[in-house]
Amino acid sequence: MNRKERRALRRGKNRAQKNDPSVAADMKNAEALLDSGDLVAAEKVYQDVTQKDPANAEAYHMLAMIAYSGGHMVEAGERILEAITRNDDDPAIHANCGAIMNLLGRPWEAEAACRHVITLDPDHAEAHNNLAVSLEVQGRLDEARDAAARAIELEVNYVEAHINLGNITLRAGDPEAAVECYRTAIAANPDNLMARANLGVALRETGDLEGAEAACRAALDLNPEFAEGHNSLGNVLREKKDWAGAKDAFQAAMVCRPGYQEAHLNLAAVNFKDGDMENALAHYRDILESQENLAEAHEGLGVVYLALGQLDEAVEHFRKAVEIKPTLGTAQYNLATGAADSIDDTQVTAMRALFTDKGLSDPDRAKLHFALGEINHHRGNFETAFADFEAGNQIGKTLLERKGLGFDAEAFDRRVLEIKFAYNADLMAERKDGGDPTDKPVFIVGLPRSGTTLAEQIITNHPQVAGKGEMDLISVLCSEDTALAEAVAAEDGEKTVAGIADSYLERLTEGAVDAARITDKTPYNFLYLGQIQLLFPYAHIVYCRRDPLDAGFSCYRQNFTGPHAWACDLGDIGHFQQACERLMAYWKEAPSLSILDLQYEDMVADQEGTSRRLIDFLGLEWDAACLDFHISDRPVLTASNWQVRKPLYTSAVGGAKPYEEFLGDLKASITG
């Protein structure tokens, strides 16, 4: 609190009682002490004033601001409330009340204080901005946006209001508009760290990871001790699958701000994504030691236990997370998918009631619908279940479209055609002797929910096989779908291929150098089999297939963590399936690719026979351990982690049948 701020805060109409001259002298003395920076002595004098003159609003006001400056927010809140009850006419006191109530997480009181200020002074820009903050917390985003815009209208270069408007716009699902808000704030004040860090967040949401990283690093160049900047950078690096870099960034954030909870949660999560279950567990447990009722930590710990196959422990933590924070949609969904039978009617009613909460975010709203869909599916209430799956998907589709990530069927068809054109027979014939000669990589591809996780579990239970899960690395290393084809046409094409192959193999073989085969279960690699043929002509490709109606509805029923826009619409699902089929038919004609069709229904009908065929395709001797895939201690990080911890079951075959009357769009797009 600098001198100018202190003087501004002293403006009050409720002065000392005239019949006690010592009060006026005390207030003047306290003012001098504040100016000298002696807050402790000033606080003592203001406390004395409140004893002499209990109606002195300005003394309580200044006590509140001293507590605020020292980080004692609860005390600041108590004192500012004392101040406003003693003076109903001072905009400064009520404006500070609004700001402090926001910081205390009491948005309704903040709103009341800000609206009172605006009644007293309609052109009070700070009050409009703080009102926007309180409205955003309540989920009233349209009103919040209007309030922030009004603050900017009153004060064009109000940096905090531009940042606030960006935050509201980002939460509303429009990251591109948020980017412009943050850039405007930076133009007004290039040294504003929060504007740069939040710009990184918004650019990450738009998919511009390079721009996002640059924005975060620009903030850290200004101040290497900026904790939020390190945290934002970590989130960008996590999106780029730079696990080591992300860990370093989150750890740096925690060094800059000890006890930085969000960064610690992010560090735990990135350890999980990197497959380091031991450290993920340790970090979540550390968080819960200091804050045992943090729902997000319980939810994260449950996810780790789920991946490790410790299902009882997972359910326990999901249930705890839901008890603490019912609006935590991920926890509700995970609990419903793993323990739907344990959720009673009272709990279902309580979940439905959450939809009336204006503060419920759209992502959590969607997950709640998926959770209720799962519960009703297990109860056999298929019409109700479908209505919830439909509602959840509609919200998800809208959110992705706002971010510019919607599914464009015609554009996807063009993409498939461009891939075929780029990776044509002439190119493949010309490069048939190129690439790395290793036969270690096993690429498991196909539509999600088609049995890819099951196939990987069977394969990786073989003692000579290691599994890396969904690496999603080929797409990153090869950039655009056709980029590698263009690169190999250049004079240094072989060098380009060798460099990418080496980078991929370094990650693939990490911790598994002695394995005869190593799996990469990234379903969407079916789009990159042209690149894979150029990089690894002796790789093994397992193409997982399933009845299109069952697979399609299973995708529609699934709350995917990634931005799979095609999976939010039944017609788009069928379109995506058919494009996948056409492209796989093309790859099967490639001169060197070794592709095995693995039908899910065959696996269910004849587990051992199909498993033997799969292992034989990989050039390995049969091992009976492959039949016990469900008792593997290998972590499973995908949507099928509940299912693959059980022996093979037949109920998934024909799983779409109870919903057939609702699947007209899916049927039409599959057969059309």
Q: Edge-to-edge strand order for the sheet containing 441-446?
A: 465-467, 517-520, 441-446, 540-545, 594-599
Residues 621 and 569 in one domain: yes
Helix (H) or strand (E) holding 519: strand 517-520
Residues 396 and 427 in one domain: no
Assess contact for 264 and 286: CB atoms under 8 A: yes
- For residue 117, is it within any domain? no
**CATH assignment at residue 654:** 3.40.50.300
Residues 391 and 478 in one domain: no
- For residue 310, is it within any domain? no
pLDDT at 496: 85
pLDDT, tens digit, 9 for 90 and up, residues 146-175: 999 999 999 999 999 999 999 999 988 889
pLDDT at 14: 40
Distance of alpha carbon 226 from the chain centroid: 22
Q: Widest CA span of the chain, in angstroms?
A: 102
- For residue 131, is it within any domain? no
pLDDT at 8: 46
Domain end, chosen from 402, 436, 460, is at: 402
Residues 521 and 624 in one domain: yes
Residues 496 and 380 in one domain: no
Q: How far apart are the first and last CA of the chain?
A: 68
- For residue 216, is it within any domain? no
Q: Specify the higher pLDDT residue, 581 or 645.
A: 581
Residues 452 and 582 in one domain: yes
Residues 375 and 471 in one domain: no
- For residue 259, is it within any domain? no
Distances in whole angstroms, Cα of residue 416 to Cα of each of 139, 324, 444, 542, 670: 41, 46, 19, 20, 17
- For residue 623, is it within any domain? yes
pLDDT, tens digit, 9 for 90 and up, residues 397-416: 998 888 788 999 999 999 99
Residues 426 and 374 in one domain: no
- For residue 96, is it within any domain? no
pLDDT reading at 544 higher than 60: yes
Assess contact for 298 and 324: CB atoms under 8 A: yes
How far apart (Å, rounded) are the C-alpha atoms in residues 665 and 569? 9
489 pLDDT tier (thresholds 50, 70, 90): low
Residues 360 and 493 in one domain: no
Distances in whole angstroms, Cα of residue 604 to Cα of each of 288, 555, 609, 615, 625: 42, 19, 10, 16, 17
Residues 489 and 597 in one domain: yes
pLDDT reading at 311 higher than 80: yes
Helix residue ranges per DSSP H, 155-242: 159-171, 175-188, 193-206, 209-222, 227-239
pLDDT, tens digit, 9 for 90 and up, residues 619-656: 999 999 998 866 655 565 554 444 544 555 566 788 99
Distances in whole angstroms, Cα of residue 404 to Cα of each of 201, 208, 300, 574: 16, 12, 29, 21
pLDDT at 491: 62
- Give the chain's domain count: 2
What's the domain range around 395? 353-402
Residues 498 and 392 in one domain: no
pLDDT at 635: 61
pLDDT, tens digit, 9 for 90 and up, residues 41-93: 999 999 999 998 999 999 999 999 999 988 899 999 999 999 999 999 999 99
Distances in whole angstroms, Cα of residue 454 to Cα of each of 48, 231, 459, 521: 73, 35, 9, 10
Going by C-alpha positions, the residue among 282, 201, 187 that lies closest to residue 234 is 201
Most confident of 22-31, 425-434, 655-664: 655-664
- For residue 55, is it within any domain? no
* DSSP state for residue 541 in the 8-state scheme: E
Global pTM reads: 0.80
Residues 420 and 475 in one domain: yes
pLDDT reading at 15 higher than 50: no
SS3 category, 192: coil
Domain end, chosen from 339, 368, 402, is at: 402
Of the ranges 5-14, 482-491, 520-529, 608-617, which one carries the lowest mean pLDDT score?
Answer: 5-14
Assess contact for 447 and 543: CB atoms under 8 A: no
pLDDT, tens digit, 9 for 90 and up, residues 510-528: 989 999 999 999 999 999 9
